[in-house]
Amino acid sequence: MRLNSLTKIFLTVIVTFAALSGYVYAQSAGDYYNNGMKAAQSKDYETAITNFSKFIEMSPTDPDLVKAYNYRGKCYFFLKNYEASIPDFNKVLELTPNDPAMYFYIGSAYENLKDFTGSIKNYTKAIELKPDYSNAYFNRGVSYMNVQDTVKSMMDYTKAIELKPDYASAYLNRGNIYLDLNKYQEAINDYENAIANNSAYESDLRPIIDKAKERLNLQNTQNTDTNKKP
C-alpha cells in the first residue's frame, strides 16, 4: 500500500511539473518575432509568416510592429504572393510614412501583377522621396515599356544610367529601344556598355551587335547613295 501511495505522489508531481513547464515555456510575442526573423533569414518564408502573424496578433502596439509588417510583406513578396504583400507594405507606410523602399516594393508587386498603372504610380512616389533612386527609375522604365511608352521608358533608363554609370541592365534595355528605332549605332554603343559592365551578356548580345553592325553599314550605304543622286 505504501508503494502505491508513493507511486501516486510521484505521478502527481510529474503531471504538475509538466503542466508548469508548458506554462513557463509558452511562447511570448517576442519569441514569435525572433523566430520569424530567424526563419526569414533562413529563407523559410512560410514559417516566418506564421510567426510574424502571431506576433502582430499578440502585440498590436509593440514598437517592432512596423518591422513585423515589413518582413512579413517581404516574405509574401519572395513567395510571389504579391497580392498579400501589398497590404503589409501599405501598413508600414501607415505607421511610418514616406518610406521610398516601401513604395518601391509596392511598385514591384503591382508590376509582377501586370498592373502597370499601379507600378508606375508607386515607382514615381519612390522617386519623389528619393530622387537618386536608380532602381526605381529602371523599374519604372520597364513599366513604361510595358504600356508602350517608349519615350518615357528611354528617359528613365537614361536617368538610371546617369545615376549609376555601370547599370548594365539599363544599357541593355535602352539598347533594345534604339534597335527597335533603327538607331543602330546607339544600340551598339549601349550593348557594348552592357557587356562591359556585365560579361554574362556577352554570349547573347554579341550576335545582336554583329547583326546591328550589318544593318548600320547597309543604312550608311543607302544614305550615301541617296546623297549622290542629283
Interval 145-161: pLDDT, tens: 999 999 999 999 999 99
Interval 43-93: pLDDT, tens: 999 999 999 999 999 999 999 999 999 999 999 999 999 999 999 999 999
Q: Which range of residues forms the domain containing residue 176?
A: 165-230
| DSSP notation for the chain | -HHHHHHHHHHHHHHHHHHHHHHHTSPPHHHHHHHHHHHHHTT-HHHHHHHHHHHHHH-TT-TTHHHHHHHHHHHHHHTT-HHHHHHHHHHHHHHS---HHHHHHHHHHHHHTT-HHHHHHHHHHHHHH-TT-HHHHHHHHHHHHHTT-HHHHHHHHHHHHHH-TT-HHHHHHHHHHHHHTT-HHHHHHHHHHHHHH-GGGHHHHHHHHHHHHHHHHHHHHHHHHHHH--
User: Rounded mean pLDDT of the chain?
Assistant: 90
Is residue 72 in a domain? no
Residue 2 confidence (pLDDT): 47
Is residue 187 in a domain? yes
Is residue 225 in a domain? yes
| DSSP notation for 9-45 | HHHHHHHHHHHHHHHHTSPPHHHHHHHHHHHHHTT-H
Q: What is the CA radius of gyration of the chain?
A: 29
Residue whose entry in the numeric block shows the C-alpha cell 503531471 = 15
Is residue 205 in a domain? yes
Residue whose entry in the numeric block shows the C-alpha cell 509574401 = 76
Residue 17 confidence (pLDDT): 39
Is residue 193 in a domain? yes
Is residue 202 in a domain? yes
Give the pTM: 0.84
Residue whose entry in the numeric block shows the C-alpha cell 502571431 = 54
Tally the domains of the chain.
Answer: 1
Residue 223 confidence (pLDDT): 76
181 pLDDT higher than 90: yes
Is residue 181 in a domain? yes
Is residue 174 in a domain? yes
